[in-house]
Amino acid sequence: MLDLLLNGASVLITGGASGIGAVCAEAFARQGAAVALLDRDADNVEAKVVALRARGHDALALVADVTDDAAMALAVNQAARWRGRLDILVCCAGISGPVGRTAPDIAPAEWAQVMAVNLGGVFHAARHALPLLETSAHGSMVVLASDSSFVAYPGMAPYSAAKGGVLMLTRALAVDHPRVRVNCVCPSVVDTPMSRTDLGMDAVQMAEAPFPVIAPAQLANHVLFLASPVSAPMNGAALIVDFGYMARPSFPQPEFGG
């Protein structure tokens, strides 16, 4: 079994109360890491931390909105004081924004909200965490981008634009902060409450979807690998997790046996 060298690591996860963030918190905790979960939903993040502690894991609940720079400064510093340091930042907070509408039908406020959460939220977290991560022996930051960083889904212009920005922000931070490894993971559809709502599908329909769907636990494995010292050579990288679809040509493909 590969040792990810995460035992005792101090980890801060934004969007940690639900979806991918919550599953990542569970995965880090099982590796022996201390996990600080940050979310704007106070009830859910507290409940998540209570459940982790009940299983013997070291966990802390932080309530903040990733679009609020002052609140993020307080929360990040609180996470660092909790364990005396900060080793890993995982940015999972995100929203879909308008789905199924094109630019003329998207209000400027809707556009701004998607940018504020999905792109601005990463910036605010990084802005306050990077000076702390730079003092860690293995400082690492992992950002949840998307295959939408590379390809545009119809009717999701704000989301695609924001995730494209997240990809380039990841690279820029890696260049500007060489003492910290900054990488992003770019999944296709993940079975989360947000995806189910966007697609109008329940759990059964997602399980029987006519396209491949990533289980949150599968994606968490990739996040942990990027965060871990085991992946030390990787920096400024975008790990595409999409069942190989982006590698395929657009023209019809022959069927091969085997």
State the catalytic residue, choosing from 31, 148, 159, 240: 159
Order of strands, edge to edge, in the sheet holding 59-63? 59-63, 34-39, 10-14, 88-91, 140-144, 181-187, 238-241
Q: Taking residues 161-174, report their average pLDDT.
A: 98
Residue 72, φ and ψ in degrees, nearest 5: -65, -35
* 149 confidence band (pLDDT: 50, 70, 90): very high
pLDDT at residue number 35: 98
Q: Taking residues 111-116, report their average pLDDT.
A: 98
Q: What is the pTM of this model?
A: 0.95
The Cα–Cα gap between 148 and 164 comes to: 7
The Cα–Cα gap between 160 and 163 comes to: 5
Phi-psi region of 32 (alpha: psi -120 to 50; beta: other; left: phi over 0): left
Beta bridge partners of 63: 39
Residue 159 bears catalytic tag: yes
- All domains of the chain, ordered by start, with CATH? 10-239 (3.40.50.720)
11 and 87 in contact (C-beta within 8 Å)?
A: yes
